[in-house]
Structure 1
């Protein structure tokens, strides 16, 4: 299984550090030349590899950690996303709901990535919290996941556990997914909730 993170801002770097802590190889990419951030990637860990966007999107599982408005630019990198799983880490805060046709932002975004299975996840924590080791006082930091694809939900849940997190599955994008999505100028009820699961 291969992994990539698209977007290398604070959230992208926090995700890269999660992979580095467990020694799991991950590609990182932006729309910029990878030479411009290769040193930053290498500083996180030897298995964090700076790549071009075209190279990174070949991964099986792609974490989308860009600004919500930038997702169409990433989607254009492939003509079809068949067989891939996208983890939507974006937050559409400030995007008017009417611009999304009244849909949850992840459902709207999924249309751009034709053929992909989409999981909303890893987006409810601020970068500074996501950046910390998820092992907390003998417990594990919670990440919320939502998807309309049960198999994809299981797959990303297993990966979250491998990265040291405790996944809580919220169900479909139009139900539980709304708890971790911004709508206009308001945040879902679980956004920024830093929870730790014990036992």
Structure 2
């Protein structure tokens, strides 16, 4: 299984730190030349591999960690996203529900990535918290996942576990997805909730 993070701002770098902590290779890309962010990637760890966008999108599981309005540019990188799992880390705060056709923001994003399986996730925490070790006081930091594809949600839950998080599945995009999205001038009820799960 191969992984990529598209977008290397604060959230992209926070995700990269989770991979580095666990010694897992991940490609990172932006719409710019990899040389422009290679030193930042190297500072995080040797398993963080700067790539061109066209290379990074060959991965099986792709974190979409760009600004919401940039997702359409990323979607043009492939003619079809068949066989790919996209983890939508974007927030559409400030984007009117009308512009989204009244849909959950992730369903709107999924329409650009034709053929992909989309999971909303890893977006409810601010970058500074997401970047921290998810092992907290003997528990694990929670990440919420929502998807209309149960198999894709299970696959991403497995990756979240590998990265040290405690995944909590919220169901489909129209139900659970609304709890973890920013849209218009409102945030979903679970956004910014920093929760820790204790096993046992």
Report what 1:77 is aligned to.
77
The equivalent of 2:87 in structure 1 is 87
Match of 2:192 in 1: 192
1:178 counterpart = 2:143: no
Question: What is the CA-CA distance between 1:182 and the residue it aligns to?
Answer: 1.1
Runs of 4+ in 1 over 6 A off after TM superposition: none
Deviation per CA, 1:130-168, whole angstroms, max 9, x where unpaired? 010000010000000000000000000000000000000
TM-score w.r.t. the length of structure 1 is 1.00
- Trace 1:13-32 onto structure 2 (pairs within 5 A): 13-32=13-32
1:63 maps to 2:63: yes
- Whether 1:42 and 2:37 are equivalent positions in the alignment is no
CA distance in 2, matches of 1:40, 1:157: 27
Gaps of at least 5 residues in structure 2 are: none
- In structure 2, the partner of 1:125 is 125
Q: How does 1:128-167 map to 2 (within 5 A)?
A: 128-167=128-167
CA distance in 1, matches of 2:152, 2:113: 15
Number of aligned residue pairs: give it.
Answer: 199
**Which whole-Å deviations, capped at 9, do the CAs of 1:99-126 have from their partners, x for residues lacking one?**
0000000000100000000000000000
Gaps of 5+ in 1: none
> Residue 4 of structure 2 contacts residue 59 of structure 2 at CA under 8 Å; is this kept in 1?
yes
